[in-house]
């Protein structure tokens, strides 16, 4: 194959040329490959590399190898090459190599290895998840046949004129040519080409070319802003770290509207001036056209990685990034794996967001992976938030990271006044309405002043429960331990865990009484209430039901931004990172939705949510205020959020966490067991816990075990769920314990289980 050509194009798949011959290597100088498979296994498997694959195989490529029962050809990743191990068991040979080039660099292999160790899953599982499907499939590319002269070609050979013409074209061409180009240039059909191939004078090579590229809108470039003193100081701390060429984590604690983004941008400017690149992670729903435009208007080559990309688009972006033609990668959680070769800086904006934790295997937290990657690269990591997690805050206070504070808004704009409204005795609330008297009045005032309003409610659907007034039962999902939410628009009751839905009859399924009552308030019901109370006022609802189509989210925000719609209401979707100058009133319809959840971070989340929502207003000179409706007006998380007092919230909360031995003072691993039969599951969970406890005693491990206990959501998708919690001051003993116990657990326990290290969801 022509090597020069190969470098310019996407490389060909070896498999398309047929598998390489299965060969046993010579006993003398054998080469072995370490292979990991997409299984929850710690083991790395050794295989002999057949002679024919020796010059091709590199770590980071996928291979086919005989594996498991019946030695079925199975795809795995090559993670290392070396001499055979000393204990010279008879090794099996690899069958074929799938990728022509490594899908991961040695550094990324090391990083994925670290993830497997830290989050207690298989290395192969991590690799499988980290490389996007579109990259593995080489989506958006196609294999094309090119023609070139063979080595046998002898210029002295006499040929008929058409064949001669083909040969002449190929001799003067610098690269192999596609059939169409070749026949055009030689002025002939396909048959002289075929004849020349039969004679062995020319040969066909198959190579992969891209059939697809991304067209970008041209965006006008904008100059960097003149930083204020706080921003300048933050930037200089970051630049110190950049120039020191060592890893440092910097926690940028800046109130909403303090101009954190501008600091990131100018730090990246510095990085780009060194010829290096940056990754900016943001929560998926903050990846709005506004955010993207902000980066594209400052840098020439910005790759955006989000979940709506097609396979082809993602593959193309990945190639651009790997090739070094991208300066900045902006993306959600998985963008931390972007294959930048010369990374200079990682930024995580809205560090406190729970979506940075992946809730499927590998259950990694992007913040921890980013920290590891930054350590490996000797570069800084910036964590930005107005409401940092207690983990990030405690790190800064124990000098594992540097705290940078920006406690004023840009241009000294005031923080919006937040009023806590106790709705326990509100006449409207008592009737089950969402908008109490004070909030209703404030809305009227804001509207008469031509201001815009955001109403925030964390519950989608119409009503979160349908309840029988006679027997007190509510309609539940048959598969989950959850009430069904009434969705009026689609006229069905929906399970928000498993998507089960049913058209309920008007009669109670338990007692037959007719007339089920709708309990509680969801965004659809709130929308109906706004329309009833403010006739003629346009109102836009944003939740995952109304915004399911790609692009609808952005379109809705644009309408709101342009002032076409005065009232925007919705779930978390509207609480994040958005910047609307004309919003003069924000209403938190129910501040208590998270507060009573059985989660150790319930108060922290409540504080974050109210602070973030409150941050959506008062951003321009028009000012603005926030009304928070609650039945717990003395709750510190709500009070302190209303006072914009992060430190005032975090200090007692930390003391509380310390007293109760919970994170960030202790590390957790949560084990969830599930099965279809509750008694069985309970027994198995007990055996599981006993086995673990025995191991703890044997190993004299400092780990503490809690449980087994039914999980807060005891039934999910037709399975019962139990959980066990392991904790210790450090992660290592938990990891050691788990590794030592797993083989025994697999023997003794006959139930499905998963382990979640540093769990974020406690459901
Ligand atoms: P944060 O991310 O801290 O909430 P933003 O980055 O959204 O804050 O900034 C708030 C607003 O202030 C934005 O509209 C931004 O363009 C503007 N801004 C930021 N820095 C400056 C500056 N130095 N001078 C003027 N305006 C600025
Ligand atoms: Zn369900």
Domain CATH for 600: 3.40.50.300
Query: Per-residue pLDDT averaged across 452-464, rounded?
Result: 88
Query: Per-residue pLDDT averaged across 450-471, rounded?
Result: 86
**Most ligand 1 atoms within 8 A of CB, residue of 227, 228, 261 to mutate:** 261
Is residue 235's pLDDT more than 60?
yes
Q: E strands, 259-400, where?
A: 277-281, 302-305, 328-331, 343-349, 380-385
Query: Per-residue pLDDT averaged across 182-198, rounded?
Result: 88
pTM of the model: 0.86
Better-predicted residue by pLDDT, 559 or 375: 375
Same domain, 428 and 378: no
**Closest atom of ligand 1 to CA, residue 254:** 3
Q: Which residues of 600-630 are buried (b: 16+ CB within 10 A; e: fewer)?
A: ebebbbbbbbbbbbbbbbbbbeeebbbbbbb
Ligand nearest to the CA of 502: 2
Same domain, 111 and 172: no
User: What is the rounded distance in angstroms from the CA atom of residue 201 to the CA atom of residue 169?
Assistant: 13
Is residue 719's pLDDT more than 80?
yes
pLDDT of residue 701: 93
In a domain, 725, yes or no: yes
Sorted by sequence, the CB contacts under 8 Å of residue 303 that are 6+ apart come out as 317, 320, 321, 326, 328, 329, 330, 331, 338
Sorted by sequence, the CB contacts under 8 Å of residue 101 that are 6+ apart come out as 11, 58, 61
In a domain, 485, yes or no: no
529 CB within 6 A, ligand 1: no
Domain with residue 675: its CATH number is 3.30.70.360
pLDDT tens across 116-137, in order? 999 999 999 999 999 999 898 8
Is residue 695's pLDDT more than 70?
yes
Q: Which of 137-146, 497-506, 547-556 has the lowest mean pLDDT?
A: 547-556
CA of residue 250 to ligand 1 center, whole Å: 19
CA of residue 716 to ligand 2 center, whole Å: 6
**Of the candidates 301, 348, 298, the residue with the CA atom closest to the CA atom of residue 325:** 301
pLDDT tens across 34-55, in order? 999 998 877 899 999 999 999 9
Q: Which residues are paired to 302 by β-bridges?
A: 328
Q: DSSP string spanning 466-504?
A: EEETTT--B-B-SSSSSBPEEETTTTEEE-TTT--EE--
CA 129 to chain CA centroid, Å, is: 11
In a domain, 601, yes or no: yes
Same domain, 302 and 352: yes
Query: Per-residue pLDDT averaged across 328-341, rounded?
Result: 95
**Residue 646 CA: distances (Å) to CA of 392, 411, 601:** 13, 21, 15
- The band of 267, judged by pLDDT with boundaries at 50, 70 and 90, is very high
Sorted by sequence, the CB contacts under 8 Å of residue 525 that are 6+ apart come out as 434, 462, 463, 488, 518
**Most ligand 1 atoms within 8 A of CB, residue of 258, 407, 410 to mutate:** 410
Helices (H) and strands (E) in the chain, counts: 22, 30
Q: Which helix (H) or strand (E) holds 671?
A: strand 667-675
Same domain, 268 and 397: yes
Better-predicted residue by pLDDT, 483 or 734: 734
pLDDT tens across 66-104, in order? 998 888 999 999 999 998 877 656 889 999 999 988 999
Three-class HEC string of 747-758: HHCCCEEEEEEC
228 CB within 6 A, ligand 1: yes
**Closest atom of ligand 1 to CA, residue 410:** 12
Q: Which residues are paired to 455 by β-bridges?
A: 569, 587
Is the CB of residue 477 less than 8 Å from the CB of residue 465?
no
Nearest protein CA to atom 26 of ligand 1, as residue: 410
Tokens of 350: 């809205």
Same domain, 444 and 572: yes
Tokens of 508: 């109670």
Query: Per-residue pLDDT averaged across 247-265, rounded?
Result: 95
Q: How many CB atoms lie within 10 A of CB 468?
A: 20
Query: Per-residue pLDDT averaged across 258-287, rounded?
Result: 94
In a domain, 495, yes or no: no
Q: Given the DSSP bridges, would you call strands 62-67 and 72-82 parallel, antiparallel or unpaired?
A: antiparallel
**Of the candidates 34, 31, 60, 59, the residue with the CA atom closest to the CA atom of residue 45:** 34
Query: Per-residue pLDDT averaged across 192-216, rounded?
Result: 79
Ligand nearest to the CA of 409: 1
pLDDT of residue 470: 80
Domain C-terminal end among 67, 96, 131 = 131
pLDDT tens across 407-445, in order? 999 888 888 889 999 999 999 988 889 999 999 999 999
298 CB within 6 A, ligand 1: no
Ligand nearest to the CA of 405: 1
User: What is the rounded distance in angstroms from the CA atom of residue 636 to the CA atom of residue 652?
Assistant: 9
**Rounded to the nearest 10 degrees, how much is the dihedral formed by the CA atoms of 366, 667, 654, 253?**
-20
Domain with residue 27: its CATH number is 3.40.1440.60
Same domain, 125 and 195: no
Is the CB of residue 331 less than 8 Å from the CB of residue 340?
no
My answer on whether omega of the bond before 362 falls inside 30° of 0, hence cis, is: yes
Q: Which residues are paired to 148 by β-bridges?
A: 203
Same domain, 642 and 529: yes
Same domain, 165 and 257: no
Name the region of 289 (left: φ>0; alpha: ψ -120 to 50; beta: rest): alpha
Same domain, 119 and 177: no
CA of residue 387 to ligand 1 center, whole Å: 17
Q: How many CB atoms lie within 10 A of CB 174?
A: 7
Secondary structure class of 376 (helix, strand, coil): helix
Residue numbers of the domain that contains 19: 3-131
CA of residue 479 to ligand 1 center, whole Å: 47
Name the phi and psi angles at 709, rounded to 5.
Answer: -145, 155
CA of residue 493 to ligand 2 center, whole Å: 11
Is residue 623's pLDDT more than 80?
no
256 CB within 6 A, ligand 1: yes
Q: Which helix (H) or strand (E) holds 149?
A: strand 141-149
Query: Per-residue pLDDT averaged across 489-506, rounded?
Result: 82
Same domain, 254 and 116: no
- The band of 455, judged by pLDDT with boundaries at 50, 70 and 90, is very high
Q: Which helix (H) or strand (E) holds 554?
A: helix 552-561
CA of residue 718 to ligand 2 center, whole Å: 8
Domain total of the chain = 5
Is the CB of residue 692 less than 8 Å from the CB of residue 653?
no
CA of residue 500 to ligand 2 center, whole Å: 5
- The band of 256, judged by pLDDT with boundaries at 50, 70 and 90, is confident
Name the region of 411 (left: φ>0; alpha: ψ -120 to 50; beta: rest): left
In a domain, 509, yes or no: no
User: What is the rounded distance in angstroms from the CA atom of residue 726 to the CA atom of residue 712?
Assistant: 17
User: What is the rounded distance in angstroms from the CA atom of residue 216 to the CA atom of residue 640?
Assistant: 44
Sorted by sequence, the CB contacts under 8 Å of residue 248 that are 6+ apart come out as 241, 380, 381, 401, 402
pLDDT of residue 596: 80
**Closest atom of ligand 1 to CA, residue 579:** 7
In a domain, 580, yes or no: yes
Same domain, 434 and 582: yes
Computed over every residue of the chain, the mean pLDDT equals: 87
Same domain, 73 and 57: yes
In a domain, 222, yes or no: no
Q: Which residues of 297-333 are buried (b: 16+ CB within 10 A; e: fewer)?
A: ebbebbbbbbeebebbbbbbbbbbbbeeebbbbbbbb
Q: Given the DSSP bridges, would you call strands 45-48 and 32-37 parallel, antiparallel or unpaired?
A: antiparallel
Secondary structure class of 308 (helix, strand, coil): coil
pLDDT of residue 579: 65
In a domain, 215, yes or no: no
Longest dimension (CA), the chain: 103
Domain C-terminal end among 112, 131, 150 = 131
């Amino acid at each position: 194959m022509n090597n020069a050509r190969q470098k310019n194009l996407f490389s060909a798949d070896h498999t398309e040329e047929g598998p390489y011959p299965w060969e046993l290597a010579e006993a003398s100088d054998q080469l072995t490959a370490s292979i990991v498979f997409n299984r929850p296994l710690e083991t790395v498997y050794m295989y002999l590399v057949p002679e024919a694959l020796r010059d091709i195989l590199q770590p980071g490529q996928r291979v086919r190898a005989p594996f498991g029962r019946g030695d079925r050809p199975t795809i795995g990743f090559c993670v290392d090459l070396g001499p055979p191990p000393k204990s010279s068991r008879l090794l099996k040979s690899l069958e074929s190599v799938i990728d022509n080039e490594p899908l991961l660099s040695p550094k990324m292999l090391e990083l994925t290895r670290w993830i497997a160790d830290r989050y207690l899953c298989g290395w192969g599982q991590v690799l499988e998840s980290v490389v996007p499907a579109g990259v593995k499939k080489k989506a958006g590319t196609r294999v094309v046949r090119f023609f070139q002269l063979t080595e046998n070609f002898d210029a002295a050979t006499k040929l008929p004129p058409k064949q001669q013409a083909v040969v002449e074209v190929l001799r003067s061409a610098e690269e192999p040519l596609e059939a169409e180009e070749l026949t055009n240039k030689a002025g002939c059909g396909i048959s002289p080409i075929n004849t020349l191939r039969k004679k062995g004078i020319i040969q066909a090579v198959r190579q992969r070319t891209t059939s697809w590229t991304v067209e970008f809108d041209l965006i006008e470039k904008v100059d960097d802003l003149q930083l204020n003193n706080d921003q300048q100081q933050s930037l200089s701390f970051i630049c110190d770290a950049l120039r020191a060429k060592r890893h440092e984590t910097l926690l940028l604690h800046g109130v909403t509207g303090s101009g954190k983004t501008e600091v990131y941008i100018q730090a990246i400017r510095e990085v780009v001036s060194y010829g290096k690149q940056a990754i900016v992670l943001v929560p998926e729903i903050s990846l709005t056209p506004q955010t993207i435009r902000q980066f594209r208007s400052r840098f020439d080559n910005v790759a955006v990685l989000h979940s709506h990309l097609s396979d082809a688009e993602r593959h193309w972006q990945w190639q651009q990034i790997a090739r070094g033609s991208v300066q900045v990668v902006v993306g959600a959680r998985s963008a931390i794996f972007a294959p930048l070769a010369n990374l200079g800086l990682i930024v995580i904006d809205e560090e406190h967001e729970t979506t940075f934790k992946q809730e499927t295997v590998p259950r990694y937290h992007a913040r921890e992976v980013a920290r590891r990657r930054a350590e490996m690269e000797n570069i800084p990591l910036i964590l930005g938030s107005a409401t940092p997690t207690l983990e990030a805050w405690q790190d800064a206070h124990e000098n594992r990271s540097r705290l940078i504070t920006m406690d004023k808004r840009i241009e000294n704009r005031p923080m919006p006044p937040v009023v806590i409204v106790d709705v326990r005795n509100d006449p409207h609330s008592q009737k089950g309405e969402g908008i109490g008297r004070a909030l209703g009045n404030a809305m009227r005032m804001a509207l008469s002043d031509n201001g815009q309003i955001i109403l925030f409610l964390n519950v989608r659907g119409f009503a979160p429960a349908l309840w029988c007034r006679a027997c007190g039962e509510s309609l539940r999902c048959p598969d989950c331990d959850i009430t069904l939410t009434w969705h009026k628009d689609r006229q069905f009751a929906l399970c928000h865990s498993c998507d089960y839905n049913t058209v309920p009859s008007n009669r109670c399924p338990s007692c037959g009484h007719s007339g089920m009552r709708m309990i509680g308030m969801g965004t659809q019901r709130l929308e109906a209430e706004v329309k009833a109370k403010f006739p003629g006022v346009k109102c836009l609802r944003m939740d995952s039901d109304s915004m399911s189509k790609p692009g609808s989210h952005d379109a809705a925000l644009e309408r709101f931004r342009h002032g076409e719609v005065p009232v925007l209401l919705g779930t978390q979707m509207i609480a994040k990172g958005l910047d609307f100058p004309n919003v003069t009133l924000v209403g938190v319809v129910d501040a208590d939705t998270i507060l009573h959840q059985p989660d150790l971070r319930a108060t922290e989340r409540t504080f974050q949510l109210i602070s973030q929502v409150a941050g959506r207003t008062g951003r321009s000179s028009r000012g603005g205020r926030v009304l928070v409706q609650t039945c717990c007006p003395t709750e510190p998380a709500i009070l302190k959020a209303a006072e914009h007092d992060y430190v005032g919230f975090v200090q007692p909360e930390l003391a509380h966490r310390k007293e109760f031995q919970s994170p960030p003072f202790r590390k957790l691993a949560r084990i969830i067991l599930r099965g279809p039969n509750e008694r069985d599951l309970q027994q198995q969970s007990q055996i599981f816990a006993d086995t673990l406890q025995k191991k703890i005693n044997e190993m004299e491990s400092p780990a503490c075990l809690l449980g087994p206990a039914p999980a807060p959501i005891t039934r999910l998708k037709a399975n019962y769920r139990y959980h066990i919690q392991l904790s210790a001051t450090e992660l290592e003993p938990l990891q050691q314990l788990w590794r030592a116990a797993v083989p025994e657990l697999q023997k003794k326990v006959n139930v499905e289980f998963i382990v979640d290290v540093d769990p974020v969801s406690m459901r």
